[in-house]
Amino acid sequence: MESKVKLFGHPIHPMLIVFPLGLLVTSLIFDIVYLITKNSSFGPVSFWMIAAGVVGGLVAALFGLLDWLNIPAGTRAKSVGLWHGLGNVVVVAFFAISWFLRRDNPANVPDTTALIFSLIGVGLGTVTAWLGGELVDRLGVGVDRGAHLDAPSSLSGAPAHRAASAREEPLREREVGR
């Protein structure tokens, strides 16, 4: 099922999720480094990484929702996509709570509650990332029809099913003849 929301021929949602995912996971790593080293520069960096990750997660969610709305009802992909999306909303909410708990003094070490929300957010984010992989790798959501290893560049304007070279034409003809 091809994505309906694309930029330069590629789905936007997968392009955007790398930012909040990286920011939020790294914020937890920086919190742990802060706890180990007591280096005060890690506190504010983690605080602002969470803020940027939450905003980025909400933007990515919008494009994910648009893709999910185009998945046919009654399919496994629709169900997996629902759990993926709802789970990621919870992940963003957990990090928003962690950020809110730090707001009075972002330079200090986060309290235990803020760390727990971040830790649970990363754990749940691992599950929802797997669900996203299931959507793409097993269920073909966001994949161009006819995609293959020698498909032409998305910038060419040619459909994915078109052969990239003349040497592919005989292969396609054999496959169609089956």
Q: Domain boundaries in the chain?
A: 6-143, 146-178
Cα–chain-centroid distance for residue 52? 15
Structure confidence at residue 176 (pLDDT): 55
Structure confidence at residue 28 (pLDDT): 96
CB of 91 within 8 A of CB of 128? Answer: yes
Structure confidence at residue 4 (pLDDT): 75
Token pair of 114 as six digits: 């803020």
Structure confidence at residue 106 (pLDDT): 72
CB of 95 within 8 A of CB of 113? Answer: no
Could you tell me the CA-to-CA distances from 102 to 4, 30, 50, 90, 119 in Å, in that order? 38, 14, 10, 19, 15
101: alpha, beta or left, given left = phi > 0 and alpha = psi -120 to 50?
Answer: alpha
CB of 118 within 8 A of CB of 74? Answer: no
How many whole angstroms separate alpha carbon 137 and alpha carbon 140? 6
Planar angle of CA 15, 86, 83, nearest 5 degrees: 90
Structure confidence at residue 70 (pLDDT): 92
Structure confidence at residue 122 (pLDDT): 97
Regions in the chain scoring below 70 on pLDDT? 163-178
Structure confidence at residue 164 (pLDDT): 57
CB of 30 within 8 A of CB of 45? Answer: yes
Instruction: Report which secondary-structure segment, H or E, holds 40.
Output: none
Single-letter amino acid, residue 39: N
CB of 149 within 8 A of CB of 3? Answer: no
Single-letter amino acid, residue 158: A
Cα–Cα nearest to 25, from 109, 94, 101, 71: 94
Structure confidence at residue 107 (pLDDT): 73
